[in-house]
Chains A and B, each alone.
Chain A
Amino acid sequence: MNQAITQFAFATGLPRVLGDLEPAVDLATLATLEELQEEGEPNLIVELIDLFLADVPCRLSALRASLVLENYPALKRGAHSLRGSSGSLGALRTSALCEEIEMEPADAFASLAALLTSLEAELARVFPVLQAQRLLRL
């Protein structure tokens, strides 16, 4: 009985919940980048993903630090930058969160803190997808 319930819950509940969330990475966006591939050159999408994966961790630390130090201009600048790159690679929800941080009034510490936490969580979802996409193209 328990097993059946668990199976049922899994079959209907979790996938539906998961399905409500946007995918972490919009694969169609990534696919459009393939048009830019030059023949004979190393894979552009792999290169871009590598740049992203390398850049993001320290960007996130910088954002955290800016928030703690209440350096709002630096926070906005960092969010602006991350917004561009995440959007280009199809991490659309990430990009939207960055935009919200950019638009938030400067001293709204509490909301900024919450947004930053959501951003970190979102990026945690994005990373494995990008890593997988990278492997596909190697």
Chain B
Amino acid sequence: MKILVAEDDPVSSRLLAAILKKWGHEVVTTNNGNEAWSLLQQDGAPPLAILDWLMPGLEGPEVCRRVRRNRKTSATYLILLTSLRDKEQMVAGIEAGADDYLAKPFNHNELRVRLQAAARIVELQASLAQRVTQLEAAVAERRRAEEALRNLSLTDDLTGLYNHRGFFTLAEHCLRMTRRSRQSSLLIYTDLDGLKQINDSFGHAEGSLALVKAAEILRQTFRDSDIVARLGGDEFAVLSLNVLRSEQDKILRRLDDKVLSANETHEHAYLLSLSVGAVWIAQDDIRDIPELIEQADKLMYLQKRSKQLSAIHASGPPPSRPTLRLVS
């Protein structure tokens, strides 16, 4: 073990070093407290230090206090050399942060057994530190793996619907397949009205619940084979496959009904409302998903504007609830 001996008397210092070397330890000596403190802060510092009480510069107990306060050095095992008759000194030494004390003049055997105890603790601390490092590395590795997994994920954590990546990956693929089988499809782009107001008035937990509810409504409206997604924020998209033109209105009405029923059966302080833009895709339509989304978005925006204008024209006091459901 590498041991620091801080003792200002040259005879005692040399003697202690000789004893420790005899027992197979590597010894570093200093004759003042400042240098002792400095040496203990360096990389590769001795894990154990034997400090005299009275020294030039920092006294032994002060070195102990500093060692304990500093995160880098705090595990150092400290033995203070104290005067034989002063019990108060011994207590003060331990309170200053020493692990053990040795009365001067010390008995060689006593020193040896105390060093054995110290060595065991130093060994323990070293293996503990190593274990902590290993665990930290394992945790970091795990986080990286989770991050990577999240990046590959196709689903939205909150609602369980497909996420943005999921939608765009699958929708394009499905669209191509339906075209090949000469089928038409319906693209819906919808957002939850007034999410910001819900968050502001009732908190984000309530806002999240509203999103989950909207997702549920969409799931119930469409088939399992359709691609229903939350694109992000308050935006949703659905690619409903194999839909005839004549079926478009029926589907949109079904969506409306489900929103209505959700509002009737649930005690919300606000009303759920979706603005919808729908684009029917003929079997020979060559537009890709992004283009179709863009088109649907425009239509949705028109619906939103018309709702807002209707709200302005409606008579009566401003609604106490953040969103009004109006005729779509």
Contact = CB atoms under 8 A, between A and B. Distances in A.
A89 B18 CA distance: 14
Interface size class, chain A: 20 to 34
B58 to A, nearest CB: 13
Contacts of B10: 51-52, 54-55, 85
A88 B10 CA distance: 11
Interface stretch (A20-28, A76-84, A104-112, A120-128): A76-84
A81 to B, nearest CB: 4
Interface residues of B, number: 18
B54 A48 contact: no
B136 to A, nearest CB: 43
Contacts of B21: 38
Given A87-B105, A102-B83, A81 B19 contact: no
Contacts of B18: 36, 38, 44
Interface string B262-299: 00000000000000000000000000000000000000
A43 to B, nearest CB: 11
Nearest to B59: A77
B220 interface: no
A31 interface: no
A68 interface: no
Contacts of B104: 83-84, 87
A63 B105 CA distance: 21
Contacts of B22: 35-36, 38
B59 to A, nearest CB: 9
Most chain B C-beta atoms within 10 Å of own C-beta, residue among A35, A47, A84, A87: A84
A51 B14 contact: yes
Interface in B1-31: 7-12, 14-15, 18-19, 21-22
A33 interface: yes
Contacts of B53: 80
A19 to B, nearest CB: 26
A76 B15 CA distance: 22
Interface of A: 33, 35-36, 38, 44, 47-48, 51-52, 54-55, 76-77, 80-85, 87-89, 95, 102-103
